[in-house]
Amino acid sequence: MYVCLCQGVTDGQIRDAILEGCCSYRDVRQTLGVASKCGKCATFAKEIVRDTLTELQSSQAGMGYPAEFSVA
């Protein structure tokens, strides 16, 4: 689903960016340009970033080393 119409960014692209190394909303914004025009998508984009990072942290909870991510 499209999250940012101005830049043509989908929720899948946001998730992929996180899986490829983005560790915060700021990283996603710099990488994909989300919310860089009108800003109407910022709240939804932040929610997707937060949910995806939370899922990653939960899935890595059983690992022998901690994974740290920042939602800010």
Identify the pLDDT of residue 14. Answer: 98
pLDDT at 69: 57
Tell me the three-class secondary structure of 9-63, residue by residue: EEHHHHHHHHHCCCCCHHHHHHHHCCCCCCCCCHHHHHHHHHHHHHHHHHHCCCC
66, part of any domain: no
Give the domain range for residue 21: 2-59
In the chain, the number of structural domains is 1
Task: Check which CATH number belongs to the domain holding 44 and give it.
Answer: 1.10.10.1100
64 domain residue, yes or no: no
Q: Is the pTM of this model over 0.75?
A: yes
pLDDT tens-digit profile of 32-51? 999 999 999 999 999 999 99
